[in-house]
Amino acid sequence: MDDYPGPVPGTRIIHAQDDDMKSAVREAAALLASGEIVAVPTETVYGLAADAFNAEAVAKVYEAKERPSFDPLIVHIASARQLEDVATIPAEVEPTLRKLMAAFWPGPLTFVLPKTDRIPDLVTSGHPTVAVRQSAHKVFRGIGKELGRPIAAPSANRFGRISPTSASAVMKELDGRIPLIVDAGACRDGLESTIIRVEPGEKRPEIHILRPGPVTKKELQNFGRVIVEKKRLIDAPEAPGQLASHYAPRTPLLMFDKPEDFQPEPGKRYGLLSYKEDPKAGYLKLHDWAVVEALSPGSGKLPEAAVRLFHVMRVLDEAGLDFIVAEPVSDTGLGQAIMDRLRRASTD
């Protein structure tokens, strides 16, 4: 468990499916109300939750994750009524924001908005804005409603590491660092939420994508002019997931402009993170791979690839390899979010 000095003697897992859901929701909410932190499921990835109004509880999230305090957290609301406790909506973009919320909430879309005084500066890393969303996961929303307060929750993993899409993955990352994991099975989407900032534009509102995710550029284009921000902030990101290096396995992950750029070192074990194990992509027959794992075996479906991405990365990371080589996917639609995660996980 490295050198983490946390006070938790052991981490329990409780199940939140069918008949177990109500009792799991109550137990998780009670721990959050007492100032503790709990790993909880969302439709994107598992999150590490704390009462968003309790700065001491939020500090435990940063400590357990070993997350730098300059990287802000997302605040989750259980209902639209909680939004006014967390953020204010600028009048000049309110019509657009309301349309986007009606279209994508609850769901994997996060808005960066001016924060209220009730949100501690630690949550936003000192920024005057807060990232806020409403999850569609029934267990997560149930916990939020039972708690009656917004929840600050980044992904439930050690900072910079592979995001967890199952309770078992959380346990591998945070066992002994947190008291409780609420297990509701695998996450539906498998990629963290899309994060946007909406600004007035000359002809149409401008929707700036700060982090690609399940809600795609094409879907957002119905509501304004979409701008995908390419810069990778290092010192003071205004929203989560903007750091240049993130979502990384312990094993160095390599990406190449074209397959023939790959020059293996003798005696090293290489694994291939393939899109669909298609020989035509140029990677499968390029090397005698120690392990091959596909995101969407045979079919090449981006939604399946998104759901499997972090799971496959973790499998390869645990395979005793010297290097992982990642085959690119189509950099369009949901593929933009997948490529964003792969690029940040890669070794320069």
With respect to residue 233, please indicate whether it lies within any of the assigned structural domains. no
R_g of the chain computed on alpha carbons: 20
Q: Which residue has the tokens 């094993």?
A: 251
- Specify the pLDDT at position 3: 47
Question: Which among 183, 208, 223 is the end of a domain?
Answer: 183
Sign of CA dihedral 59, 64, 66, 72: negative
With respect to residue 57, please indicate whether it lies within any of the assigned structural domains. yes
Percent of the chain with pLDDT over 90: 85
d(CA 26, CA 47): 17
Which among 80, 66, 72 has a CA at the least distance from the CA of 2? 66
What's this model's pTM, rounded to 2 decimal places? Answer: 0.91
Question: Which among 151, 166, 183 is the end of a domain?
Answer: 183
Are residues 176 and 318 both part of a single domain?
no
Are residues 165 and 274 both part of a single domain?
no
C-alpha distances in angstroms, 72 versus 36, 128, 181, 319?
A: 19, 11, 22, 32
Which among 312, 282, 270, 319 has a CA at the least distance from the CA of 295? 312
Are 310 and 163 in contact, with CB atoms under 8 Å apart? yes
Residue 49 carries which DSSP code? E
The average confidence (pLDDT) of the chain is 92
Give me the CATH number covering residue 306. 3.40.50.11030
pLDDT over threshold 90, residue 151: yes
- Specify the pLDDT at position 130: 98
d(CA 174, CA 12): 11
d(CA 90, CA 109): 18
In our burial notation (b when 16+ CB lie closer than 10 A, e otherwise), range 268-279 reads eebbbbbbbbbe
pLDDT over threshold 80, residue 246: no
Residue 114 carries which DSSP code? E
Are 87 and 114 in contact, with CB atoms under 8 Å apart? yes
Are residues 261 and 175 both part of a single domain?
no
- Specify the pLDDT at position 238: 76
Give me the CATH number covering residue 172. 3.90.870.10
- Specify the pLDDT at position 17: 79
Query: What values do phi and psi take at 155, rounded to 5?
Result: -65, 145
Question: Which among 161, 183, 205 is the end of a domain?
Answer: 183
Number of domains in the chain: 2
Q: Which residue has the tokens 């995001």?
A: 163
C-alpha distances in angstroms, 310 versus 24, 77, 247, 304, 316?
A: 26, 25, 8, 12, 10
Whether the link from the prior residue into 214 is cis, omega within 30° of 0, is no
Q: Give the distance, in angstroms, between the CA of residue 305 and the centroid of all CA atoms in the same chain.
A: 15
Query: What values do phi and psi take at 152, rounded to 5?
Result: -90, 125
| pLDDT tens digits, one per residue of 264-316 | 999 999 999 999 999 999 999 999 999 999 999 988 899 999 999 999 999 99
Are residues 59 and 139 both part of a single domain?
yes
Question: Which domain covers residue 309, as residue numbers?
Answer: 253-345
| pLDDT tens digits, one per residue of 182-214 | 999 999 999 999 999 999 999 999 999 999 999
| pLDDT tens digits, one per residue of 4-46 | 445 456 899 999 977 779 999 999 999 999 999 999 999 999 9
Tokens of 22: 């109500």
pLDDT over threshold 60, residue 2: no
